[in-house]
Structure 1
Amino acid sequence: MKAGHGAEVAASTASTASAAAAAADGDVGAVGIRTVALAGKDGCGKTALASALLALAASKRNAKGVDGGAPEEAAHGMTLYNHVYCAQVDDHRVNLIDTCGHIDRLPLLATALAVSTASVFVTTPTVGVDGACKRVWERVADAGVPAVAFVNCFRLSESAVEAGGHPAGRFAAALHSIEASLGQLPVVLFAPTFDPDTGAFVGLIDVLAGALCRDACRFLSAPAADGERADGLEPLPPSAVAEAAAYREHAVEALADVDDAVMGAYLDGGVDGVSAAALATALRTAVASRSVLPVIAGSAAEGIGVRALDDLLRDCTPAFGDGAGWPAHEGGGAAEAGDDEDGGDDAYAAEQVYTSGADALAQAAWRRAGGPVSHVAPDATAPVAGIVYGLSLHAYSGRLTEVLVVSGTLTKHAKLVLNTAAGGGGAATGGGAGGGGRVSPARLLRRRPGGALEEVASAGPGELVCLEKIDGAAYGDTLTCAERSALQLRPLPRPYGRCTFTLPVGDDARADDKLLRALGRVAEEDPSLRLSRNEETGELLLSGTGLLHLGIVRERLAAEAKIDLPLATPHVAYHETLTGRPVRAPGRLVKQSGGSGQYAVVEVEVTPLPRGAGFVWADTTKGGIVTKSFSAAAGRGAAEALKAGPLGGFPLTDVSVSLIDGKMHSVDSSENAFFHATASAVRAAASAAADKGHAALLEPIMHLAVTVDEAHMGRISKDLATRRGRLSGFRPASEDLGLVVVEASVPLAELLTYSKTLDALTSGTGSFTMAVERYEEVTSHAAAAVLGTRRGGAAVDAKAAGGKGGGGKRKR
């Protein structure tokens, strides 16, 4: 997670003041630590709410708000990175995470939610719950953390009757939108009330207390000793009595469904027979089980309702120590490649350019990397265990490893073991599970309000800290102690890249080296940025979560390294295959004139196989005319020859190569000779088949899953039809949210710029995943166009290109 670029280290290594402050905060423990993710679409006021919550901090050193953010955030006017702030508010510690709201950055929201104990869903009455809000809530619901809603009314004090209607109507519409669009049952705890004539803001209705608050309101305010209400609460004005009664009745009925005590009191004495204390107890149960969505109205910019929200988070959401612990197992080392039912690491390596299923593959790799799953309890006296949730580069502290402490008490200079995440390995490379070596943090730093870093002496369960000098750490890695050196904590959600471009490098070695070094530094901080190489096309590929993401990377490189990031559309990894009857061809390598000779004579038969069969090698010779070692070398030669097919030099696949005859020399034969003789024979056979029109070009067909609002289904289906797509069905992504997944099989060549098109079709609210499904023959005319481009624009005979339809007749 990225801190503001202007953040300063607030204390030196031996700062006595910092150590004292850390000690003062260190007594809270896991029971009193909450990590709260502020979630919402861009422009809803998350950053203002974070600043208002931080302003509640009791001590002067906590009184600052959020940091200024990165330059690119100021330029775009939105939060582009997760920002973490640790503060002490009254008697509890809270870690606030100001998250990203743009759909291209939602994978970072998933990371923030994974380390959070609760979330605040921020929305506004002016817009209500639109498509972008639905996609944010989808992440919150998937994370399974308790949630509350804050309806940010912006400038409440300036409310008035406008052309758009009475402000009370806008808040009622926001509540209806939450229930109708999110499928949640809203329980209003604090609601704004307005003058019925002028529309001026009067105050907030404290629904459970049945009173009016004009200033800083608190959740569950108690009556003062003299009979008057504390914390500035007043009797309700006559215009708000009916409104407050309706909100309370709805709250009682909703909570009665989850609490027997409330139900009994309600049946005995009606709404008035249920006490505020009983409702508060039921509310804690309902929030923990996510049965209701508590709603607090307010204005983040003016601080209205913020104190009540902080009290609600403290009283009704769980602390880190309340959970069962973090799932983990005692890993057994790296998993064998290809032994997973979902494709395993082989599938991950092969499809990393196109797929967004890296998270599922990482989870599968973690499951098979060790034994039975247990839970690491949040016990401060247990052995240390933590998980890396982010990396950042600081101007003064250098590379910082951001860690959630899961158990134990972490101190500086502690001797730790770094275990690489299964199926992970960082933003730029893949890897398997395994030990990453011994590490020891030089300092423990905590992010304070204002973006400053403050040194702390220790950190217990639930704390988010930055560690100095942890070399080799990557997103999702486990930090543990020597007693549990094989421990693997369950991986965090792995951000994926759905938007891929080619980096055109190779013309200037010095410029390329500068570019790759700069990209490597950015990728260290950003696990959603992936740099990889397509082995078939030879291209260097840069993948991000969307066009906005890659645009941000381009801006950072321009500002920080004075580098213009060149991006181009990637090439499609076509394949070739043979059709028709088997083809035989001889191969010879005979050099016996002086010195060590070379002698190998072979004859091979190349036979087409069904789609997806790959390459099969067979030695059908008899009588030992070719030894096993020479036969194995011949097989390697055949595989080498298939790397470049006869049509356009694309890999040749779905064929079997059989060695049907051969000759050896007692002295001059060698594995190298049989390697090259067989490669020559296979190339000759493939060329002969192509000359007869028995070769075809294959293109990758992707399984595409597009998640959109129901309203966009029609236009998505029509667009996919224009891309040679074949719809395979629709399924609900979330019935409550009205989101559907459109599934189709589409050629990759038609999807190279799909991110931009999808954004235009769905107003930026759609997302998609895709993975290689199979390879299919390209029509002869399309093949001729591809091969013409491949050969520099030269005309290509359609018959030679093979393919389906429009070509010459093929003998069978």
Structure 2
Amino acid sequence: MGAASHQSGAAGRAPTADHPASVRNVVLVGHSGSGKTTLVEALALTAGAVKRAGRVEDGATVSDYDEIEHRRQRSIQLSLVPVEWAGVKINILDTPGYADFVGELRAGLRAADAALFVVSAAEDGDGLSGATRMVWDECAAVGMPRAIVVTHLEAARADYAQMTTVCGDAFGADDPDAVRPLYLPLHGPAGPDGHAPVAGLLGLLSQRVYDYTSGDRVERDPDPGELALITDARARLIEGIIAESEDETLMDRYLGGEDIDLKTLVDDLERAVARGTFHPVLMAAPAADGARKGLGTVELLELITGGFPTPLERAPVNVTTPDGAARPAVTCDPGGPLVAEVVKTSSDPYVGRVSLVRVFSGTLRPDETVHVSGHGLTDRGHEDHDVDERIGALTSPFGKQQRTLAHCIAGDLACVAKLTRAETGDTLSAKDDPLLMEAWSMPDPLLPLAIEAHSKADEDKLSQGLARLVAEDPTMRLEQNPHTRQLVLWCLGEAHQDLALERLRTRYGVQVDPVAHKVSLRETFGAKAGGRGRHVKQSGGHGQFAICEIEVEPLPPGSGIEFVDKVVGGAVPRQFIPSVEKGVRAQAARGLAAGYPLVDVRITLLDGKAHSVDSSDAAFQTAGALALREAAAGASVQLLEPVAELAVLVPDEYVGSVMSDLAGRRGRVVGTDAAGTGRTRVLAEIPEIEIGRYAVELRSVSHGTGLFSRTYARHEPMPPQIADKLREQTEKGSHLT
């Protein structure tokens, strides 16, 4: 770190790797607006992958190459940008910062071996979102190496010192000495507004100055004032590095006054970073007009190549056969059995389906036949599959370009064309030795979007379009609700919903209309009631004659519908008893008061009349339905609403706000329990009508830090005032959502 010369990649050439030791896989993490995509562009420029500020062709960026991203000016999907530095291929995985696209972030974490957390120097003390801190904890739980880069140094209110303190407080809670800056900013002359821009870096370990004033990176000795700034911060950095050193004598030697040589410090720093026990803070800014390197980008590339682990250092990957039989874990060996995973699926209008694949073992080659094994997420609309497929070309993405690769070795990433059955999360392996990797955790979509085809032409294309949409996005769930007869897309948030509609329209040519989401309500009788159904018609020829008398009484919840025959003396002939039952059950399914299915009642057939010629199956079905409707007209029919068991996981400081919000939604808090350091799980029962948009509203209440799960508990009587409102809406043709 701080080397004078570097070997960078050439623009237009796809970086290649012939050994896992020459690969680094890095995921960028940070909230929306923190500057991740700008940083990717700056790194690509410094590495020589592009010739001007992050652009590849037609003004497109190296990262946001999707047309929807280009229109929205916001990252919405995981993108891969491979660059080369000092003979090392660096796969930079740029992730969206918006919470609705956390599935793309999870994919990036799955594919990477280290994480670079991007934070903005222009933010105040609350600049690190709760969601970013949650991802940090998630990485810590699996020991993923992490570093921090501070961006937006050019902003008038940028405060690098404050942000390094914030990072230490947020990310170094367990070990404050493990989060330390490697560089301090060198400020240039102040402008008319009093703001002094960052013009270079003060290297704390090397005690050198890296001056970017001229547009080039110029290395020089510090002047006395600069050296004074370096000295104190350097001592704290060295103490943090030595505390993580494997050499137990190093601390004693340092405290005894020995001057530890630079190579020892750098080696120990790189080992501690690779182990995930030390987290350096760096800074970066895009290149000024005409400059060939962005400020801090050389130093960041040095950290990635020297300090971040190679794929060889990743723990062995557990695998089974597709039928669940245990197999030995596989290591990162290009000569080992083929084990690769689809971490992202997308559609190209010219190529078709394109799968971004991380190879964990073996070597993937174009035009070979592989076995595709899936976990069968049938609850999310993903079919189970266990098939052989011939893959197409292997390519390396770069903006809108796809550059051909001869192969992809263990530890590397590539795009694979023409995998028509493979979906995100599927495993690719040898066809004669099929294997399956452990499934990775994906967030559960909890925001419903009910849709209808806009026209008959759209209806014909809807099924195929939806199938392709959910194949690309495992965080989306497709449901055909049998109770409400609605087609529902379950999403992570409103932006996720908007993206689904736009992709259906622009990518798959399907126009759909959002409609109000219906909750599966039920009806039941509040007290015993009787009804008489009389269906008598005579209009020439055979007439219709059927009369039946029934009694309806409520049953305990969950009883369904019970039909009892108490007819005596053959008043209703035996062959027509099933007809009456069929009629009342059909009417119960259609509903009585507000059009929702009737449940939890006993319907007893007491008496009736028949005609030797005019009675029929159809007549008694109609009479049974009429009898049930008459019973309902003279009785209290209650509406039952579904109640969910809700588990809300939030930081302790938001527990009060969450409980107050739940109470305002007719929720009943049934308990709380500790869920790790500083977090609480709130357990509640709440009507499902009240949580249709809870995925969005909890995010607001908890500042993006809350998570929740829901399971159906039971149906309960709806409060009369809400039930009356619903009946009014039903009469007007609308539905409570």
TM-score range, shorter chain: 0.7 to 0.9
Find the counterpart in structure 2 of residue 150 from structure 1.
Answer: 148
Provide the secondary structure at the position in 2 that maps to 1:55: helix
The one-letter code matched in structure 2 to 1:396 is Y
The structural deviation recorded for 1:564 is 5.8
Find the counterpart in structure 2 of residue 228 from structure 1.
Answer: none
Specify which structure has the higher proportion of strand: 2
1:653-668, aligned counterparts within 5 Å?
Answer: 653-654=599-600
Find the counterpart in structure 2 of residue 298 from structure 1.
Answer: 284
Structure 1 residues 601, 123: closer, same or farther in 2, change over 3 A? same
The structural deviation recorded for 1:298 is 2.8
Which among 223, 226, 238 is matched to residue 237 of structure 1? 223
Give CA deviations for 1:569-591 in whole Å, capped at 9, x if unaligned. 21111123455579999999xxx
Distance 1:408 1:655 in 2: 62
Find the counterpart in structure 2 of residue 498 from structure 1.
Answer: 446
Do the aligned residues in 2 keep the contact of 1:119 with 1:146 (CA within 8 Å)?
Answer: yes
Find the counterpart in structure 2 of residue 212 from structure 1.
Answer: 209
Provide the secondary structure at the position in 2 that maps to 1:483: coil
Give CA deviations for 1:226-261 in whole Å, capped at 9, x if unaligned. xxxxx9544333334454333333334334443351
The one-letter code matched in structure 1 to 2:250 is A
Structure 1 residues 265, 383: closer, same or farther in 2, change over 3 A? closer
The structural deviation recorded for 1:475 is 1.8
Which among 715, 721, 725 is matched to residue 781 of structure 1? 721
Provide the secondary structure at the position in 2 that maps to 1:404: strand
Distance 1:282 1:206 in 2: 17
Find the counterpart in structure 2 of residue 266 from structure 1.
Answer: 251
The one-letter code matched in structure 2 to 1:746 is I
Distance 1:579 1:439 in 2: 59
Find the counterpart in structure 1 of residue 360 from structure 2.
Answer: 406
Structure 1 residues 463, 656: closer, same or farther in 2, change over 3 A? farther
The one-letter code matched in structure 1 to 2:372 is L
Which structure is richer in relative contact order (CA contacts within 8 A, separation 6 or more)? Answer: 1
Distance 2:312 2:201 in 1: 33
Do the aligned residues in 1 keep the contact of 2:153 with 2:197 (CA within 8 Å)?
Answer: no
Find the counterpart in structure 2 of residue 665 from structure 1.
Answer: none
Percent identity (aligned): 24
Find the counterpart in structure 1 of residue 411 from structure 2.
Answer: 462
Find the counterpart in structure 1 of residue 571 from structure 2.
Answer: none
Distance 1:405 1:278 in 2: 34
Distance 2:331 2:304 in 1: 22
Structure 1 residues 60, 434: closer, same or farther in 2, change over 3 A? closer
The structural deviation recorded for 1:265 is 1.8
Distance 2:550 2:321 in 1: 50
Distance 2:277 2:646 in 1: 34
Find the counterpart in structure 1 of residue 457 from structure 2.
Answer: 510
Cα RMSD of the aligned pairs, angstroms, is 4.8
Give CA deviations for 1:337-382 in whole Å, capped at 9, x if unaligned. xxxxxxxxxxxxxxxxxxxxxxxxxxxxxxxxx2447523222222
Structure 1 residues 86, 202: closer, same or farther in 2, change over 3 A? closer
Q: Structure 1 stretches of 5 or more lacking a match?
A: 1-16, 217-230, 333-369, 589-593, 595-599, 622-629, 662-671, 795-812
Find the counterpart in structure 2 of residue 187 from structure 1.
Answer: 179
Find the counterpart in structure 1 of residue 429 from structure 2.
Answer: 480
Do the aligned residues in 1 keep the contact of 2:32 with 2:98 (CA within 8 Å)?
Answer: yes
**2:339 maps to 1:385:** yes
Distance 1:481 1:645 in 2: 55
Provide the secondary structure at the position in 1 that maps to 2:333: coil
Q: Structure 2 stretches of 5 or more lacking a match?
A: 1-10, 191-195, 288-292, 536-540, 568-575, 608-615
Structure 1 residues 314, 146: closer, same or farther in 2, change over 3 A? farther
1:76-115, aligned counterparts within 5 Å?
Answer: 76-115=72-111
1:20-39, aligned counterparts within 5 Å?
Answer: 25-28=16-19, 30-39=20-29
Distance 1:556 1:430 in 2: 18
1:259-658, aligned counterparts within 5 Å?
Answer: 259-261=245-247, 263-270=248-255, 272-301=258-287, 303-332=294-323, 370-372=324-326, 375-424=329-378, 429-431=381-383, 433-435=384-386, 437-448=387-398, 450-485=399-434, 487-505=435-453, 508-514=455-461, 518-556=465-503, 565-578=512-525, 609-612=555-558, 643-654=589-600
Distance 1:457 1:25 in 2: 9
The structural deviation recorded for 1:89 is 2.2
The structural deviation recorded for 1:100 is 0.2
The structural deviation recorded for 1:451 is 3.6
The structural deviation recorded for 1:411 is 1.4
Distance 1:233 1:732 in 2: 52
Distance 2:606 2:262 in 1: 88
Find the counterpart in structure 2 of residue 44 from structure 1.
Answer: 34
Distance 1:789 1:419 in 2: 48
The one-letter code matched in structure 2 to 1:136 is T
Distance 1:601 1:474 in 2: 58
The structural deviation recorded for 1:148 is 3.1
Distance 2:714 2:27 in 1: 40
Provide the secondary structure at the position in 2 that maps to 1:643: helix
The structural deviation recorded for 1:127 is 0.5
Which among 115, 135, 138 is matched to residue 134 of structure 2? 138
Do the aligned residues in 1 keep the contact of 2:476 with 2:492 (CA within 8 Å)?
Answer: yes
Provide the secondary structure at the position in 2 that maps to 1:43: coil
TM-score, length-scaled by structure 1: 0.72
Give CA deviations for 1:538-592 in whole Å, capped at 9, x if unaligned. 112233221122223444556567876422321111123455579999999xxxx
Do the aligned residues in 1 keep the contact of 2:451 with 2:515 (CA within 8 Å)?
Answer: yes
Structure 1 residues 317, 785: closer, same or farther in 2, change over 3 A? same
The structural deviation recorded for 1:536 is 0.6
Distance 1:374 1:620 in 2: 66
The one-letter code matched in structure 2 to 1:172 is A
Which among 670, 680, 702 is matched to residue 644 of structure 2? 702
Structure 1 residues 793, 601: closer, same or farther in 2, change over 3 A? closer
Do the aligned residues in 1 keep the contact of 2:82 with 2:90 (CA within 8 Å)?
Answer: yes
The structural deviation recorded for 1:465 is 1.9
Distance 1:684 1:129 in 2: 68
The structural deviation recorded for 1:117 is 0.8
Which among 109, 121, 124 is matched to residue 125 of structure 1? 121
Deviates more, 1:142-151 or 1:706-715: 706-715
Do the aligned residues in 1 keep the contact of 2:188 with 2:199 (CA within 8 Å)?
Answer: no
Give CA deviations for 1:96-134 in whole Å, capped at 9, x if unaligned. 111100122222211211111111000022205637632
The one-letter code matched in structure 2 to 1:292 is F
Structure 1 residues 439, 59: closer, same or farther in 2, change over 3 A? same
Structure 1 residues 731, 46: closer, same or farther in 2, change over 3 A? farther
Do the aligned residues in 1 keep the contact of 2:533 with 2:628 (CA within 8 Å)?
Answer: no
Distance 1:373 1:423 in 2: 22
Give CA deviations for 1:182-219 in whole Å, capped at 9, x if unaligned. 44435334222445995454632222223332259xxx
Structure 1 residues 446, 631: closer, same or farther in 2, change over 3 A? farther
The structural deviation recorded for 1:59 is 7.0
Do the aligned residues in 1 keep the contact of 2:345 with 2:473 (CA within 8 Å)?
Answer: yes
Structure 1 residues 196, 417: closer, same or farther in 2, change over 3 A? closer
